[in-house]
Structure 1
Amino acid sequence: MFCEQIGDPSASIPLAQLIKTASLAEANASEEDKIKAMMTQSCHEYDPINYMKKPLGPPPLSHTCFHCGGLGHYKKNCPENRDKNFESVPRIKKSTGIPMSFMMEVKDPSTKGAMLTNSGKYAIPTINAEAYSRGKKEKPPFLPEEPSSSSSDDSIPEELLCPICKDIMTDAVLIPCCGNSYCDECIRTALLESEEHTCPTCHQTDVSPDALIANKFLRQ
């Protein structure tokens, strides 16, 4: 091919070879092929085939297992996995990103929606406390429905709930593979706990936690 180009100066470089050319400006090719080659080169490093799966080393001694609550091992290596009757220790979420003015302190950590604050106390978002206190309103059967009004809607919109913890999203982030939103802590933990960094919704593998995008609309 090189000899043919020397013999025929007008011969242009094929697109497959042009993509591997370092200096596109001096290459003998059409402007359209140069643009295609430039776009391919600029996107090459973002191709999923170039993602490197970081091997997980041994956890630090202070790491808490999300299954048994013990220290020094991951959930997949938990010794309690052999016991099918073992009940996982309930996880307490942290109130990261929620101002304390929006929180209400509670004494019992088992309270629905309770979170651990930076001061070591337990609190629940005020909006959650109001929703839990009202509860579900049951209507007698076979009665005409009352006209709905925006002020009487007490339910939390489904798009504000995290698909993993089923609670209001904290530090909402988007996952690039399927575009769903989760709590930042929930989706990072789910990706790191899975052996192949698998998305819990679309089940795509090799999804890097660093690829998560902040969902500013949901956060506001």
Structure 2
Amino acid sequence: MSSVVYYKFLHQKNKSVIHFDGTAINVFDLKREIILQNQLGAGNDFILRLFHSEQPDLEYELDQDVIPRSSFVLAKRSPCNFKGGRFGNASRYISGKPRVNRKVINNATASAGSQAVRTEQAPLDENMSEEDRIKMMFESQDNVWAQAQDELATHKMVYNKPGQAKAEDLPPPGYICYRCGKKDHWIKNCSTNTDPTFEGKKILRTTGIPKSYLKTISKEELDRRVETEGLTTNENGDMVDKDGNAILVTEDGGYAIAMADSKTWLSYQEKQQNAALKAKQEFEQKIVECAVGENRLEFLNPLSSTRHLLKSPIVMTPCCRDKASLRKLTNFNYNQAELEQTLIENDFHCPNCGKEDIYIDSFISNQELEEELHEYIKQKQTELGIEDPEASLKRAAEEDGDDPDSKRQRTDLPIRPDMFGPPGMAPFMPGMPMPGMPGIPYPNGVPMFMPPVPMPPQNGNGESNGTN
């Protein structure tokens, strides 16, 4: 039956195979077959060496070493060594005989003889019980270990003492000891290596961070912060100050703190604001088209130059409370904020009939119309298969509030404070958490989209409709 041994030169990617008869092959025959198979010539100008595949630094040095079948070895061809005489090249594998190491053979023979003697001292009896057989097996293992110890005792001891760095061996410019953060010594010479109480703090590098986002601090400033404020480590082991800013190390060994990208944050806010406006306008426009098509004009804002839905709270004037009283306008219901602003600008004259002395405290609330408008919007959402963006954001905020570990930022459509919510929904209060953006801190402590004063809603022409 043909057996195989696999080999590969160090520069090759694929394995090669050598076929032979038997259960093993010695190193001499294997090297001969490798030279012949690769047509390496007479072997006068090189040395062929074989190494273990699992331990590349362990070489098959003796030609009498036996390699079992199905093994895998590494082959290396090196320049010949003329100091070794006739054994300084691989020519003997083609025309010569294997080199014999008498010392190794004698040791192997003596070891085999002692093993045979020990085996003869404990012959195997066919009538032995199972317990005796197990006992003999353990004794045989002890004998093998004793023989291995005797063989290891003859080996030469190799002492490997790690080299110690010299105190005057200074690091090159730009080197940083990332154990303590200093530049005047190698990390192997760091004084904290022998300090068991030293709490190693991970110092981050500034690689990949633009310099415009870095605030450089001096060594004295860092030492002052350590003494007064104290530096701690976060869950990742990074060194941070009391504000949670990570301490970074620059290329030249200085210290810096990463600053927030305020420009990108403001740009992001503007994009989300525009997206919220667009989505809200598209949703309201669909409801307005349905109301106009069904002649439900009582749901439309009469003070707006373009068609918009009424917003809560909805009020009426004491002089115009039914369709029979309509004069200038198409609806006698108003947004309270817009009606107040209109009366102030027109000396408290009714915008429909022109009656004087229509004061703010005389408004009449129309709760019934608010409920009808709310039910109408819900009905059209079901019929058209659409959803109010503000309602979806509110629901998403509630879902995120139930999960304390939720860190995913909702960036769909944040609500603006000058947007009026659907009927029945409380208006947005400045300073309150923004729906859809739970747990997101705002720069300088200012809430997102918070205006200095309430602004009136604008119509399509960019003109004010007279809200408060």
Structure with greater proportional helix content = 2
Q: TM-score, normalised on structure 1?
A: 0.33
**TM-score normalized by the length of structure 2:** 0.16
Q: Looking at both structures, which has the greater relative contact order when contacts are Cα pairs under 8 Å and sequence separation is at least 6?
A: 1
